[in-house]
Structure 1
Amino acid sequence: MTRIDDTFARLKAEGKKAFVAYVMAGDPDYETSLAIVKALPGAGVDIIELGMPFTDPMADGPTIQLAGQRALEGGQTLDKTLQIARELRKDDQRTPIVMMGYYNPIYSRGVDRFLAQAKEAGIDGLIVVDLPPEEDDELCIPAQAAGLNFIRLATPTTDDKRLPKVLQNTSGFVYYVSITGITGAAEAQAAEVGPEVARIKSQTDLPVIVGFGIKTPEAAQSIAGIADGCVVGSAIVAEIAAGKPVEAVARFVKGLADGAHRA
């Protein structure tokens, strides 16, 4: 059982849906980013997705792309991203941390070395968007062996033929991408997402969390109501990009979390 498994078991017992928040590590700078991450659990965040800045983020829309650029320009590195997790773990042993990003920085570090460092830092899961199931031997299988959940994305174009392959070695939860396209591009609609979530849940016992296109507490409540929870990224990153102080970002996140928890 990982922290992710424990979190979903606890939420289920409480009759609550999960609220997952994404932030880019190192945006707008290391210290501010660390303060925001430390504020997330108190704002009602059940799982933290920590973005690994990368120079070629092909699945990300402009908001997340620019966050990654700001982080890299500010000197953010993979080591500093792991350090953010370590700092959170000094005060918080319960909130799961999922590192989300692309394979290149992990490959450059070396898979075995990266996994050992991630585990030591208190990371609980990985979302690596450019590694398909056909490449599971690269990272997915070693990650599971190291005790990390490997979370896979399903999309509107994941048909019934492809879905079993996507679910094959997934653990922790399934991340359903509610729209076709990049992050932050459109608004998720519960009426369209609901049947897709039901289709995925018919083939797995894992929780299904919906992300992309959720920007308001009302949308968080609506989407969480038809899934096991929701993820918000671009809307939170936009608040950070606007230069809002940490307390204001935390208030914004709390509104979204409260919406999801009302579902």
Structure 2
Amino acid sequence: MTTRIDRRFEALKKEGRAALVTFVTAGDPDYDTSLKIIAGLPKAGADVIEIGMPFTDPMADGPAIQAAGLRALAAGQNMKKTLKLVKDFRKQDKDTPIVLMGYYNPVYVYGVEKFLKDSKTAGVDGYIIVDLPPEEDGEFCIPALKAGQNFIRLATPTTDDHRAPTVFHNTSGFVYYVSVLGITGTKAPDLKSVKANVNRLRKHTKLPICVGFGVKSAEQARAIAKDADGVVVGSALVQAVEKSLTKAGKPTSKTAKAVHALVSDIAQGVRS
């Protein structure tokens, strides 16, 4: 069974270009603004959209995404509203792949079977659950695959040739290569290292490899797109949200526009 993610990467391969994968946090800074941001991403140049599921203890995320999660939670965002966000997006966009990204705890609390059913009904195509290693595939990965959805795994600079086959065993959709060691959005990727590791990991998987963590500019995106199948931008977009808010943390008329303008700029880099 092919998913929207599979079809999108196949189409981009025929176009001969890399994907732009954008990450934003669900409900940041509030539900309506979040929906407006997500709804405008495809037109701005996003090929795949990752939506962060807000969580109180996001251990892999840097200050920007942590702050976004806290803003969303303070505004009343929860899992039901996150799935509603996808459902509302799907009313106007049937084609752009949606990936939910986050931690296992909120999924476990919601109930895996119910979560998979409700998220598929809403229009979710795949998942990145950062704290579920391959050894725990029975918890969520395999049920997701059986439901006809993709389970996208993270690979890092420390994913060596011995570990890679285990990491990629049940991975589908694409591989998310974490270009730096540490948390999101705090370091710039080393382009030589990215190229070497992407080429090394290709020996272990035929899946598209998308590179993220620390990508902030069109120039970086252009350089990474030469070697990778996709470029992931997250913290920079979340920071664009934060910078547009009032001192009280409320959205302004510039909030969605700021995100879409940055996506458009980076998309030009990916496409050039």
What's the TM-score once normalised by structure 1's chain length? Answer: 0.98
Cα deviation, residue 226, structure 1: 1.1
Structure 2 Cα separation of the partners of residues 89 and 170 of structure 1: 25
Superposition RMSD on alpha carbons, in Å? 0.7
State the 1:248 CA deviation: 2.5
Q: C-alpha offsets along residues 89-133 of structure 1, whole Å, 9 cap, x if unaligned?
A: 111111000000000011001110000001000000000000000
Per the alignment, residue 102 of structure 2 pairs with 101
Q: Which runs of 5+ in 2 are unaligned?
A: 245-253
- In structure 1, the gaps of 5 or more residues are none
Q: How does 1:15-164 map to 2 (within 5 A)?
A: 15-164=16-165
Deviations 1:3-42 (A, max 9, x none): 0000000001111110000000000111000000000000
Paired with 1:141 and 1:41, the residues of 2 have a C-alpha distance of 29
* Whole-angstrom CA distance in 2 between matches of 1:206 and 1:87: 30
Given that residues 149 and 170 in structure 1 are in contact (C-alpha distance below 8 angstroms), is that contact kept between their aligned partners in structure 2?
yes
Q: Are 1:167 and 2:168 an aligned pair?
A: yes
- The percentage of counterpart residues that share the same residue type is 58
TM-score scaled to structure 2, two decimals?
Answer: 0.95
Between the two proteins, the alignment pairs up a number of residues equal to: 262
CA distance in 2, matches of 1:245, 1:213: 21
Alpha-carbon separation, structure 1, partners of 2:29 and 2:133 = 30
Counterpart check, 1:247 vs 2:257: yes
SS in 1 for 2:148: coil
> Which portions of structure 1, spanning 4 or more consecutive aligned residues, are displaced by more than 3 angstroms?
none
1:196 aligned counterpart, secondary structure: helix
What is the deviation of 1:251? 1.1
Amino acid of the structure 2 residue aligned with 1:164? P
In the other structure, the counterpart of 2:250 is none
Aligned counterparts of 2:72 and 2:141: Cα–Cα separation in 1: 26
User: In 2, Cα distance between the equivalents of 1:173 and 1:206?
Assistant: 5
- Report the residue type matching 2:208 in the other structure: P
- The residue type paired with residue 7 of structure 2 is D
The 3-state SS of whatever aligns with 2:49 is strand
Secondary structure, aligned partner of 1:153: strand
